[in-house]
Chains A and B, each alone.
Chain A
Amino acid sequence: MFYGTDLSSRLMLGTAQYPSPAVLREAITASGAEVITVSLRREGKDGGAFRDILKDSGCRILPNTAGCHTAGEAVTTARMARELFGTSWIKLEVIGHADTLQPDPFALVEAARILCADGFDVFPYTTEDLIVGERLLEAGCKVLMPWGAPIGSGQGLRNIEGLRAMRAHFSGIPLVIDAGIGSPSQAAQAMEMGFDAVLLNTAVAKALDPVQMARAFGQAVAAGQMAYTAGLMPRRDMAHASTPVFGMAELLP
């Protein structure tokens, strides 16, 4: 449950960089995503035509504060988003470094505290750091969004052990892998590890065929989720014959 909302598709899709709004719409449909994110920092209030296209998709909209570098900027952008989209959901991004696009955990916690107190349902884009995660929960967040890898890098889950530890540490908290996912297999891997959803943009938007790629991601996320629910077999160091040994025919005379 994400702030009281259950989602049947666990893929969340970004809406930037597509060849056209028409292709974006097709990709959303093909992916089966029920949540889409949209940035506001650059488009501002004058991006109404594009926002109307997104609203028409019927998806739940998760506005984001992409491009904000300070808590103040992010809070202002979040309030504008609430006004424009009529939703209390906000994907909180406070970028600490323009080159790596790594989140600034200090400003993130500060902005989360302000926004949670103001009635927002905050989805903070964070790292796999456990202490930062705890501080965000203390601030009032009920979902965490750790990165897989730097935004747009397509590197997949760069710190698997760290993410595994995070999953174990925050066992009851919805965790969404946000950023860095490049291929459907990486998305499936995140879901197999027990993450609750995957959010991505570039891997679909910049594919040679975004609609096909969106479909591939939708299926991979569903497969990963199904596998996690079904219960994955544990790894073993030794071989383990899958055919029983007892009762085999004696072929030697």
Chain B
Amino acid sequence: MISVLGAGVAGLCAATAIRDRGLDVEVIVPEGSPPPVSRLAGGMLAPFCEGESAPETVVARGQKAVDWWASHVSGVEKRGTLMVAAARDGTELDRFSRATCQHTWVSPAQLEPALETRFTRGLFFEAESHMNPVEALADLRRSLVSRGVRFHGQAPSGQIVDCRGLAARGHLPDLRAVRGEMLKVHAPDVELTRPIRLLHPRFPCYIVPHAPGLYMIGATMVESANAGGISVRAVMELLSAAYTVHPGFAEAEVMETGAGLRPAFPDNIPAIRSLLGAIHLNGMYRHGFLMAPILAEELAQQLAGTSGQTQTRKHVHAC
């Protein structure tokens, strides 16, 4: 029996990969645990965009995430990512194009007619995808339950796989919190079909369509362990950035705001760590949906005793 602690994106991916190999697994979620922070994620699978600041290992390995999600949940949209910038920040776009790969220069309105003439050029990352993270997590959980996996709050009865994010900080002293804030809005006047990222020297933001007319707008990055509600500054910055992308956001209804703490290691790379008594899958930082499946497969292979010549270990070039 394998006991997975935590039912966020790391825990559910780990339990799924373990169950896929025919091993017995249970998921431990104590009564009254806070909801996982991954419910606040954008749900983007954007390894190439992330390459602007993420190291090559994230870009290279993250490319496999889309196939994993498409084979485990419904609703994975393979429509790419569109990166735009206000005319005066055009140099930011040039810099981004130098820092990343697998993109083409486009006229934004040709891909997203709703952007009209607001942006004369943009970068299109065709191979990227997105999904609704809340629904994806619910899909994984349903599938696990239907395959006999028990979710409960009692003591774990097997080998421990700890996926509790910041709650595992006591075992991982170099794990730190990186605060993120986001909003969900209902904007029936805005019709965007793929994630739009706005480059801005001070207030970058992304807008992810989670359903027709429903958008997630995120996300701040603050080196802070403050788990309090979204700040006024974050609301103003994110919404003014969204308004720059499409003025229809001014008429949107704010459905939800959220603030959460991303667990991160000093190099901001998600990792598996084997410690005495538990294997940890943690440090997802802003790469939970991108990297949790990759690490979960690696972990499951280790547990099933088939590690060594695994696909995830094979070196893949980033570009």
**Once bound together, how far apart are the Cα atoms of A47 and B179, in whole Å?**
10
Q: Give A144 Cβ to nearest chain B Cβ, in Å.
A: 26
* Minimum distance in angstroms from A48 CB to a CB of chain B: 7
9 sample A-B contacts, Cβ–Cβ < 8 Å, listed by A number: A19-B54, A20-B267, A20-B269, A21-B268, A25-B266, A43-B222, A44-B226, A53-B266, A208-B98
CA–CA, A46 and B166, complex, Å? 14
Q: Is the C-beta of B253 less than 8 angstroms from some C-beta in chain A?
A: no
Q: Which residues of A contact B201 (CB under 8 A)?
A: 152
The answer to whether A46 and B224 have CB atoms under 8 Å apart is yes
CB atoms of A22 and B268 under 8 A apart: yes
Residue of A23, A47, A53 with most partner-chain B CB within 10 A? A47
Task: Count contacts on A: residues with CB < 8 A to the other chain.
Answer: 18
Contacts of A48 in B (CB 8 A): 225
A158 at the interface (CB under 8 A from B): no
Closest to A205 in B: B53
Complex: chain A residue closest to B177, CB-CB: A49
Task: Flag whether A85 is at the interface (Cβ < 8 A).
Answer: no
Task: List chain A residues, Cβ under 8 A from B55.
Answer: 19
**Interface set of B (CB-CB < 8 Å, partner A):** 53-55, 95, 98-99, 176-177, 179, 201, 222-226, 233, 264, 266-269
Q: Which residues of B contact A46 (CB under 8 A)?
A: 177, 179, 224-226
Contact B223 A22 (CB under 8 A): no
Could you tell me the distance between the alpha carbons of A49 and B226 in the complex, rounded to whole angstroms?
Answer: 11
Kindly identify, within residues 159 to 218 of chain A, every residue whose CB is under 8 Å from any CB belonging to chain B. 206, 208
Nearest chain A CB to B108 CB, angstrom units: 23
Residue of A nearest to B221 (CB): A17
Interface membership of A42, Cβ < 8 A: yes
Q: Mark A1-40, 1 if CB is under 8 A from B, else 0.
A: 0000000000000000001111101000000000000000
Complex Cα–Cα for A43 and B264 (A): 16
B53: chain A residues at CB < 8 Å are: 19-20
Distance to closest chain B CB from A84 (angstroms): 13
Closest to B220 in A: A42
Most buried by A among B98, B176, B264: B176
